[in-house]
């Protein structure tokens, strides 16, 4: 059945479903075993959730009310705090603001017993700044099993050698304070060259995974083949960002390719995080312009992709017995 048809059928059902997702209570401390994420009892874990937009452009959604709503109503198992690094009002120029907004999201995720990705949302190497940021994050939150670190969102012009060397230094910094929470590593060309990382992986550390990002109307079978190559070489993958349209975040939803990606993730037990909780006028944004900054969104405040991801998250929660 077409994903669009499924979406239409389930819309009214899922808006009335009221169970509460608390995956951290169920899975506890996560770890990597081969290519899989495992829970504290060695059960397989496949997380589903959503990413907030860049904190510097959509700070209004970096609050406890929004995270409460995503956990309770959307049944998100993981949320991603996309801490912008380079643009105006981002971390480099306004670090205190970035840390405050990140903490508001992380604290709320911990209270709601969901997982949270602390994402260094940059397209260029900023090694010393990243080490400083993750040192603070690991010291403050390293004792919580909720935390996942994404240390480089999408390298663009860096080689894998450069990204690998950077990643090793940032991983060392985190591991001084947090010995076991999962760390996600990006790869060149917008985190799509995972096959290159697979041929020369980072060694000497536990609980390391590699990210792949897809936008369904641009990244198709060729990217799944790269991911399959990495998996066969024992490289664990986490889809820490994906969208339903083309790589710009806009355009038509490609339901056919999106369904192929969902099936591929299910088959391989790959976790996935949808981009993005923001009210930007583009296809991948989950909210319409001026949607409430406090969560509690009505159906009319959600875009088509916002309604779709909410349904899929709630359907998974219902099947999982949350």
Dig out the tokens for 162 from the structure.
């450069």
Angle subtended by helix axes 221-232 and 255-268, to nearest 10: 10
The residues, ordered by sequence, that sit 6+ positions from 301 with a Cβ below 8 Å of its Cβ are 287, 288, 291, 292
Give me the catalytic one of 77, 150, 154, 244. Answer: 154
Question: What Å distances lie between residue 182 and 31, 98, 238, 274, 275, CA to CA?
Answer: 7, 22, 11, 19, 20
**In which residue are the tokens 């059928």 written?**
9
Per the annotation, the verdict on 282 as an active-site residue is: no
User: Is 241 annotated as catalytic?
Assistant: yes
3-state secondary structure of 150: strand
User: What is the distance between the alpha carbons of residues 247 and 263, in angstroms, rounded to a whole number?
Assistant: 20
Distance between CA atoms of 85 and 29, rounded to whole angstroms? 28
Catalytic residue among 241, 244, 257, 301: 241
Answer yes or no: are the C-beta atoms of 69 and 297 closer than 8 Å.
yes
**Catalytic residue annotation:** 154, 241
């Amino acid at each position: 059945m077409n994903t669009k048809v499924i979406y239409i059928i389930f819309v009214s059902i899922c808006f009335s479903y009221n169970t509460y997702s608390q995956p951290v209570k169920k899975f506890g401390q996560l770890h990597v075993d081969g290519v899989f994420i495992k829970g504290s009892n060695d059960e397989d874990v496949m997380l589903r959730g959503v990413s907030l937009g860049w904190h510097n452009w959509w700070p209004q959604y970096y609050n406890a009310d929004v995270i409460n709503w995503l956990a309770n109503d959307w049944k998100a198992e993981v949320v991603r705090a996309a801490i912008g690094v380079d643009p105006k009002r981002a971390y480099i120029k306004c670090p205190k603001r970035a840390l405050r907004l990140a903490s508001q999201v992380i604290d709320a995720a911990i209270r709601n017993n969901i997982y949270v990705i602390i994402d260094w949302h940059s397209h260029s190497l900023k090694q010393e700044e990243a080490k400083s940021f993750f040192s603070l994050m690991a010291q403050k939150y390293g004792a919580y099993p909720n935390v996942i670190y994404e240390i480089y969102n999408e390298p663009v012009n860096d080689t894998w050698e450069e990204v690998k060397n950077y990643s090793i230094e940032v991983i060392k910094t985190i591991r001084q304070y947090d010995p076991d929470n999962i760390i996600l590593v990006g790869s060149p060309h917008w985190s799509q060259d995972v096959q290159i990382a697979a041929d020369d992986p980072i060694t000497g550390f536990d609980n390391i995974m590699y990210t792949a990002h897809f936008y369904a109307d641009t990244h198709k079978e060729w990217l799944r083949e790269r991911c399959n190559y990495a998996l066969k070489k024992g490289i664990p993958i986490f889809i820490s960002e994906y969208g339903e349209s083309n790589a710009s975040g806009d355009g038509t939803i490609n339901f056919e390719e999106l369904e192929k990606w969902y099936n591929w993730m299910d088959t391989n037990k790959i976790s996935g995080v949808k981009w993005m909780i923001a009210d930007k006028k583009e296809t991948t944004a989950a909210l319409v312009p001026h949607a409430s900054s406090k969560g509690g969104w009505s159906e009319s405040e959600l875009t088509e992709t916002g309604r779709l991801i909410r349904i899929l998250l709630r359907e998974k929660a219902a099947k999982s017995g949350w």
